[in-house]
């Protein structure tokens, strides 16, 4: 319904529309740029259930539109829209082969000779847009794939599966004695990891591993990270001759900081990972390609890669509190730190 409504709206004002889905959100950004389109649109519930569907917009450069631009669009919608006459309305075309273009593009993030022969991988595709391309990439690289939640029907996205319901993925890792488990959110722009014991790996350790992966290839590079759990990341970047830069949390801030600093990689502990060579967009596929590459290079399992890091920089994960007087609490915190940088 949303696709039909959007298509009708765009063509009614003279825009041509290419229908590409279902594909991952990062693919929309990449294809908007490569196909020289003026706008990219992703209809997605992300990590939510189907009834909480939404829309993400990309500009011609493949970047998500800023909040300011989206507000300007809302203002335009509230005004009278001038429709085209029947001879000037846009045309619609469905293109089916775009997923292959996206797959080949993200595979360039790892060496051409990378093979995953013998690697047993559990993937939870959340009954979302990863259902086809994630198993295909792993199969092409030679891995033994144990897929879960790969039968989307429009209603079962994120239903007892995916990034917000990871119990089944962890259970499958243990049942099949897999080397690694990966769970995606519905629109495949995030991925979550489980070691060979089915134990969830917190995002701050994954950001550290990805930073190390890039710095081994390009020493001296800049790494952007959010300013929540920073010690492990900063230590890894320093030890690998890189430069770490803390940023305000959120994709708009991370991407802005990456562009300003020409950073090769940016990561958030929430499992959003951004890549300079991917137009600073996030991806749910590139991170696990880099992680399995690092496992192959070092000969270590995922639990072994993070063992020393967890011992040196233990993390409780996020602990949330409900407070009755937030304004007073913030005033006390600011007064206590007296203008110092809060990490």
**What is the number of other CB atoms lying within 10 angstroms of the CB of residue 312?**
10
46 included as an active-site residue: yes
Catalytic residue among 8, 12, 34, 46: 46
The b-or-e profile of 315-333 (16+ CB within 10 A means b, else e) is beeeeeeeeeeeeeeeeee
Give the integer Cα–Cα distance in Å for 278 and 283: 8
Catalytic residues: 46
């Amino acid at each position: 319904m949303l696709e039909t409504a959007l298509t009708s709206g765009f063509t009614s004002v003279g825009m041509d529309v290419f229908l590409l889905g279902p594909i991952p959100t990062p693919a929309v950004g990449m294809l908007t740029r490569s196909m020289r389109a003026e706008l990219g649109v992703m209809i997605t519930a992300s990590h939510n259930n189907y009834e909480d569907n939404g829309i993400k917009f990309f500009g011609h450069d493949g970047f998500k539109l800023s909040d300011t631009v989206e507000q300007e669009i809302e203002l335009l919608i509230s005004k009278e829209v001038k429709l085209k006459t029947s001879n000037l309305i846009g045309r619609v075309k469905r293109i089916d082969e775009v997923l292959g273009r996206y797959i080949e593009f993200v595979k360039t993030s790892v060496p051409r000779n990378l093979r995953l022969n013998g690697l047993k991988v559990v993937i939870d595709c959340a009954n979302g847009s990863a259902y086809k391309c994630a198993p295909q990439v792993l199969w092409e690289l030679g891995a033994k794939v144990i897929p879960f939640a790969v039968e989307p029907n429009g209603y079962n996205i994120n239903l007892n599966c995916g990034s917000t319901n990871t119990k089944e993925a962890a259970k499958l890792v243990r049942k099949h004695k897999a080397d690694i488990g990966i769970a995606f959110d519905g629109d495949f722009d995030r991925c979550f990891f489980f070691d060979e014991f089915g134990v969830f790996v917190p995002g701050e350790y994954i950001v550290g591993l990805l930073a190390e992966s890039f710095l081994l290839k390009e020493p001296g590079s800049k790494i952007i990270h959010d300013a929540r759990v920073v010690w492990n990341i900063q230590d890894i970047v320093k030890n690998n001759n890189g430069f770490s830069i803390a940023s305000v949390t959120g994709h708009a801030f991370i991407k802005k900081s990456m562009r300003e600093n020409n950073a090769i990689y940016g990561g958030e502990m929430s499992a959003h990972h951004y890549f300079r060579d991917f137009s600073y967009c996030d991806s749910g596929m590139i991170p696990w390609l880099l992680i399995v590459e690092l496992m192959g290079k070092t000969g270590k399992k995922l639990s072994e890669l993070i063992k020393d890091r967890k011992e040196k920089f233990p993390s409780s994960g996020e602990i949330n509190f409900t407070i009755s007087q937030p304004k007073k609490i913030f005033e006390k915190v600011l007064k206590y730190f007296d203008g110092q940088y809060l990490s």
